[in-house]
Chain A
Amino acid sequence: AQSVTQLDSHVSVSEGTPVLLRCNYSSSYSPSLFWYVQHPNKGLQLLLKYTSAATLVKGINGFEAEFKKSETSFHLTKPSAHMSDAAEYFCVVSDRGGGFKTIFGAGTRLFVKA
């Protein structure tokens, strides 16, 4: 069965500094991987997705992620944090072994300090 592990429950950065949110996955098939962001009491918004094309994926709001099969990782990065980036981020995996159900990581809370 597929699974996903987000290595940090919370990350704190200063505004203007880089962001790194770490995600490792497990899948017996070629997975699809996604990053979603959730602001308080809101639904989830797709940031970006990887589906076996380019390994470096660019998303919205300046975020990008790199798929590294050898490391089974899909870390999310942003060169310069903005206050509005403060939110909960979820790494998600989906593969045909699980009937394409989407499995969520535990989430990483990003804090941005002024």
Chain B
Amino acid sequence: GAVVSQHPSWVICKSGTSVKIECRSLDFQATTMFWYRQFPKQSLMLMATSNEGSKATYEQGVEKDKFLINHASLTLSTLTVTSAHPEDSSFYICSARVGTSGDSPLHFGNGTRLTVT
């Protein structure tokens, strides 16, 4: 149980275009999902917390207009990288928590490798 599906697993796009990444909780409802970015050989950096039915909460230094997050249902959150540039190339990972208790572990998608040419 507690499967998080992330799509696509990899994407290559041209500079200036936008890319949408989907994160779905397959067998549970997630009122909150989290989006992380991971640079090569580095740890995960929390970008934003996605809240169902309300605006996402962004971490300091993350451009909300560049990384648009929509959490339209209890099982789907999307991250759109707008006007992508090569420096946005990275590994993006989403996660969701079963229930609302803070001591519940996160369940992660398999990540999306974004390459901007």
- Residues on A close to B: CB < 8 A? 32, 34, 36, 41-46, 49, 51-52, 90, 94-96, 100-107, 109
Contact = CB atoms under 8 A, between A and B. Distances in A.
Given A101-B46, A101-B49, A104-B43, A46 B105 contact: yes
A85 B44 CA distance: 20
24 contacts: A32-B102, A32-B103, A34-B106, A36-B108, A41-B91, A41-B111, A43-B110, A44-B44, A44-B93, A44-B95, A46-B106, A49-B103, A49-B105, A52-B103, A90-B43, A94-B102, A100-B102, A100-B103, A101-B34, A102-B46, A102-B106, A104-B46, A105-B43, A106-B42
B73 to A, nearest CB: 21
B113 interface: yes
Contacts of A44: 44, 93, 95, 106, 108
Given A102-B46, A104-B43, A107-B42, A42 B103 contact: no
Interface in B75-117: 91, 93, 95, 102-103, 105-111, 113
B46 A42 contact: no
Interface of B: 4, 6, 34, 41-46, 49, 91, 93, 95, 102-103, 105-111, 113
A52 B91 CA distance: 33
Contacts of A104: 43-46
A99 B102 CA distance: 8
B34 A102 contact: yes
A44 B93 CA distance: 9
B107 A46 contact: yes
Given A102-B34, A107-B42, 8 more contacts: A34-B105, A43-B109, A44-B93, A46-B106, A52-B103, A102-B95, A104-B43, A104-B46
Contact of B103 (A36, A94, A101): A94
B43 A42 contact: no
A54 B49 CA distance: 30
Contact of A96 (B4, B43, B102): B102
